[in-house]
């Protein structure tokens, strides 16, 4: 399903006949209370498996798993303002490296 989504986004970008940069944000780790036995291992595996197909479709990949695996989250979904700020800074840094047209 994810590769179909990547295909759709890629076709939209190429159909626009412009150089549209694409950034794929990988999944965040789940908190220990929510991840269950193999939840984080499955997310890590998914992130690793989807990185190459995303790159083949001319998308840059930003994995968020390493950022969030040690973050404090009671419910496994809400990491708070500090993690959101770092994620935003990572995207801004990616945007600043893009060529302007």
pLDDT in tens, the chain (101 residues): 888 888 888 887 777 777 788 898 888 887 666 656 677 788 888 888 999 999 998 889 998 888 887 776 666 667 777 888 888 999 999 999 988 65
pLDDT of 90 reads 92
pLDDT of 35 reads 57
In a domain, residue 14? The reply is yes
**Alpha helix positions (H), 1-101:** 2-15, 32-35, 39-56, 65-68, 81-96
Domain count, the chain: 1
Query: What span, in angstroms and rounded, lies between the C-alpha atoms of 72 and 78?
Result: 9
List the domain range (segments joined by +) for residue 67. 2-96
Q: Is the pTM of this model over 0.75?
A: no
CB neighbour list of residue 60: distance below 8 Å, 6 or more residues apart: 21, 22, 23, 24, 94
Tokens of 34: 């929510």
């Amino acid at each position: 399903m994810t590769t179909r989504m990547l295909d759709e986004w890629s076709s939209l970008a190429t159909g626009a006949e412009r150089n549209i940069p694409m950034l794929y944000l990988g999944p965040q780790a789940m908190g220990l209370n929510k991840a269950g036995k193999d939840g984080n291992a499955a997310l890590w595996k998914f992130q690793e498996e989807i990185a190459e197909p995303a790159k083949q479709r001319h998308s840059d990949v930003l994995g968020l798993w390493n950022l969030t695996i040690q973050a404090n989250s009671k419910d496994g979904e809400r990491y708070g303002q500090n993690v959101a700020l770092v994620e935003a800074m990572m995207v801004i840094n990616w945007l600043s490296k893009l060529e302007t047209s």
